[in-house]
Structure 1
Amino acid sequence: MDWIEFALAMTAFALSHRIPAVPGLRSGLVRRIGLRGYVALFSALSVGLLVWLIVAAGRAPFVPLWDQVPWHRWAVNIAMPVAIVLAVLGTGAPNPFAFEGRSAGFDPDRPGIAGLTRQPLLWALALWSGAHLLANGDLAHVLLFGPFLLMALLGMPLVERRRRTAMAGGWDRLAAHTGLVPFAALATGRWRPGGRPPVARLVLAAAVWAAVWHLHGAVIGVSALP
């Protein structure tokens, strides 16, 4: 029965992310509840199903593939704050290169988060799934975190290719001070941080990390302590 719950949770999560692709469904929901309402509803649904999926993976029969060692848990605790900061800074920020960003307000000379990386949310997903995959070497968690890691890594060139095509000849100008790999533009001198730091988003990221760290044991059933 536990494998059945895991399969049902995985199926429900996958189907929920087909909602934006269903013709007329997204636009109809936006007309009824507004764009912000749609984003809030879809985000709540995604988070709820993701929590169910993680809990279901923990309930599935334990089939060991590799042993956990202490540094695996340290890797998770180092990766997660970085992943949360990337996700919070990237979501809804002026960044025409990422699906979670927006074109309005983007300044190619001061690209903000896109100067750090054009795909902050996908890098956050890769860090989250990769670190947790390392620390959870059983079959159910490999089936959980492995696809997320592949989706993040394979999704980056796919999103970049689509955005490059959509921008036509404007890509080189808009992307001149950005990079795909985090800190690549900084290392090559194409980007220098400037302007006011996003204090509010950094505070939010710290609050999210603290909440995740403290609630991990109660919600997931495993302490976040290394």
Structure 2
Amino acid sequence: MGWGEYALAFGAFFLSHSLPVRPPLRPWLVARLGRAGFGVAYSALSLAVLAWLIGAAGRAPYVPLWDWAPWQNHVPLAVMLPVSILLALAVARPNPFSFGGVRNAAFDPGRPGVVALTRHPLLLALTLWAGAHVVPNGDLAHVVLFGSFAAFALLGGRLLDRRRRREMGEAWHRLDAARRRWPRPESWPRAAMRVAAGIALHAALLWLHPRLFGVAPLG
């Protein structure tokens, strides 16, 4: 379908990320699925649409913007291990500043973990992933794809900050000031397990990449 499929997948991606989290749809879904069930369903939908969009970018007409060089592959290789660890440290933990947090009322600013580094670790991971993948993909479809992801993540952080400040009031400023310290985790053994899970995720992505996207990161 060329550009038509690409445009359709792009539209589905942004709708799937915007509609489920807007009132009144999100409260309706959370009431029926539970907070954890909503998070799982939202994540599964996001990954499915993301996989379709990446595949559609590969099928779009090829319009080169710059030439490929072997060194470019090393950029995502170097960045994706930190991204995988960042994801493992951020997923399914309390974070009242961002989306996707669980047990947010239990957030301890004295033990903020990765939230001490950034209020939006998942969006930071998306920004790093997208920016790193622009380098070796110098055709129009992929530059638009990964560039849009990076812009989406950066803008999303600003919008979330504005919404959370409005919703939380003075508590947002108090928690934000308190969490800006050494990223002490809730539990060192759990943090070590999450880092190990991030390393395992990175290995799995290296193995799955050629099977899902037809490109072998290690050559």
TM-score, normalised to structure 2's length? 0.88
Name the CA distance, whole Å, in 1 between partners of 2:166 and 2:133: 34
One-letter amino acid matched to 1:64? P
Matched with 2:112 is 111
One-letter amino acid matched to 1:14? F
Q: Is the deviation greater in 203-212 or in 135-144?
A: 203-212
Q: Contact 1:95–1:114 (CA<8 Å) still a contact in 2?
A: yes
Q: Residue 9 in 1 paired to residue 9 in 2?
A: yes
Name the CA distance, whole Å, in 2 between partners of 1:215 and 1:136: 18
| Superposition map of 1:76-91 within 5 A | 76-91=76-91
Q: CA deviation at 1:131?
A: 0.5
Q: Contact 1:72–1:134 (CA<8 Å) still a contact in 2?
A: yes
Q: 1:54 to 1:133 in 2, by over 3 A?
A: same
SS of 1:176 mapped into structure 2: helix
Name the CA distance, whole Å, in 2 between partners of 1:99 and 1:71: 35
Name the CA distance, whole Å, in 1 between partners of 2:60 and 2:82: 29
Q: CA deviation at 1:126?
A: 0.4
| Superposition map of 1:21-32 within 5 A | 21=21, 23-32=23-32
Q: Contact 1:92–1:101 (CA<8 Å) still a contact in 2?
A: yes
Matched with 2:47 is 47
Q: Contact 1:132–1:145 (CA<8 Å) still a contact in 2?
A: yes
| Superposition map of 1:62-81 within 5 A | 62-81=62-81
Question: 5+ unaligned residues in a row in structure 1: which ranges?
Answer: 180-189
Q: Percent identity?
A: 50
CA RMSD of aligned residues (A): 2.1
Q: Is the deviation greater in 49-58 or in 20-29?
A: 20-29
Q: 1:149 to 1:209 in 2, by over 3 A?
A: same
Q: 1:168 to 1:18 in 2, by over 3 A?
A: closer
Matched with 1:193 is 184
Question: 5+ unaligned residues in a row in structure 2: which ranges?
Answer: none
Matched with 1:162 is 163
Could you list the runs of 4 or more consecutive aligned residues of structure 1 that deviate by over 4 angstroms after TM superposition? none
Q: 1:32 to 1:94 in 2, by over 3 A?
A: closer
- Per-residue deviation, residues 134-180 of structure 1 (Å, max 9, x unmatched): 2111001012111111111222232223223333223343122445x
Q: 1:22 to 1:157 in 2, by over 3 A?
A: closer
Matched with 1:186 is none
